[in-house]
Structure 1
Amino acid sequence: MTAPPGEDLVAVGADLAPGTLLAAYRVGAFPMGVGLHGRPPLGWWSPDPRGVLHPSDLRVSRSLRRSVRRFELRVDTAFDDVVAGCADPSRDGRWITPQIADAYRLLHALGWAHSVETWRDGRLVGGLYGVALGGLFAGESMFHRETDASKAALVGLVALLRADGDPRRLVDVQWRTAHLGTLGVTEVPRQRYLRLLERALTAPDTDWGAGILGI
Structure 2
Amino acid sequence: MTLPWLDPRNDDQPFPSPDRALSEPDGLLAAGGSLNPSRLLRAYRQGIFPWYSPGQPILWWSPDPRLILFPEAISISRSLAKILRKGRFTVTADTDFEAVIVACAAPRGPGQGTWITPAMQRAYSRLHRLGHAHSIETWRQGELVGGLYGVAVGRVFYGESMFSRASDASKVALVALAAQLRRWDFAVIDCQMHTDHLVSMGAVAVPRAVFLRLLARYCPLSGRDGGWRLDDDLLAANRLAAPPP
Residue in 1 aligned with 2:33?
14
Q: Does structure 2 retain, via aligned residues, the 8 Å contact 1:72–1:119? A: yes
1:79 paired with 2:97, answer yes
Name the amino acid aligned to 1:163.
Answer: R
Name the amino acid aligned to 1:64.
Answer: L
Q: Given the two structures, how large is their TM-score scaled by the length of structure 2?
A: 0.80
CA distance in 2, matches of 1:97, 1:108: 16
Pick closer, same or farther for the CA change 1:101–1:162 going to 2, 3 Å: same
Q: Does structure 1 retain, via aligned residues, the 8 Å contact 2:22–2:29? A: no
Q: Does structure 1 retain, via aligned residues, the 8 Å contact 2:67–2:190? A: yes
Name the amino acid aligned to 1:18.
Answer: P
Pick closer, same or farther for the CA change 1:4–1:19 going to 2, 3 Å: closer
Q: Given the two structures, how large is their TM-score scaled by the length of structure 1?
A: 0.91
Does the residue aligned with 1:162 lie in a helix, a strand or coil? Answer: helix
1:184 to 171, 196, 202: 202
Q: Does structure 2 retain, via aligned residues, the 8 Å contact 1:11–1:45? A: yes
CA distance in 2, matches of 1:14, 1:201: 22
1:146 paired with 2:166, answer yes
CA distance in 1, matches of 2:231, 2:56: 37
Residue in 1 aligned with 2:183?
163
Q: Does structure 2 retain, via aligned residues, the 8 Å contact 1:53–1:172? A: yes
Q: Does structure 2 retain, via aligned residues, the 8 Å contact 1:156–1:213? A: no
1:28 paired with 2:47, answer yes
Name the amino acid aligned to 1:136.
Answer: V
CA distance in 1, matches of 2:22, 2:68: 17
CA distance in 2, matches of 1:173, 1:213: 26
1:111 paired with 2:131, answer yes
Residue in 1 aligned with 2:5?
none
Pick closer, same or farther for the CA change 1:120–1:46 going to 2, 3 Å: same
CA RMSD of aligned residues (A): 1.8
Does the residue aligned with 2:183 lie in a helix, a strand or coil? Answer: coil
Which ranges of structure 2 fall in alignment gaps of 5 or more residues? 1-15, 235-245
1:47 to 63, 75, 92: 63
CA distance in 1, matches of 2:231, 2:117: 29
1:175 paired with 2:187, answer no
Q: Does structure 1 retain, via aligned residues, the 8 Å contact 2:21–2:63? A: no
Residue in 2 aligned with 1:95?
115
Does the residue aligned with 1:70 lie in a helix, a strand or coil? Answer: coil
Q: How many residues align?
A: 210
Q: Does structure 2 retain, via aligned residues, the 8 Å contact 1:75–1:212? A: no
Pick closer, same or farther for the CA change 1:64–1:181 going to 2, 3 Å: same
Does the residue aligned with 2:223 lie in a helix, a strand or coil? Answer: coil
Which ranges of structure 1 fall in alignment gaps of 5 or more residues? none
CA distance in 2, matches of 1:144, 1:12: 31
Name the amino acid aligned to 1:151.
Answer: K
Name the amino acid aligned to 1:9.
Answer: L
Q: Does structure 2 retain, via aligned residues, the 8 Å contact 1:88–1:94? A: yes
- Greater Rg, structure 1 or structure 2? 2
Residue in 1 aligned with 2:229?
210
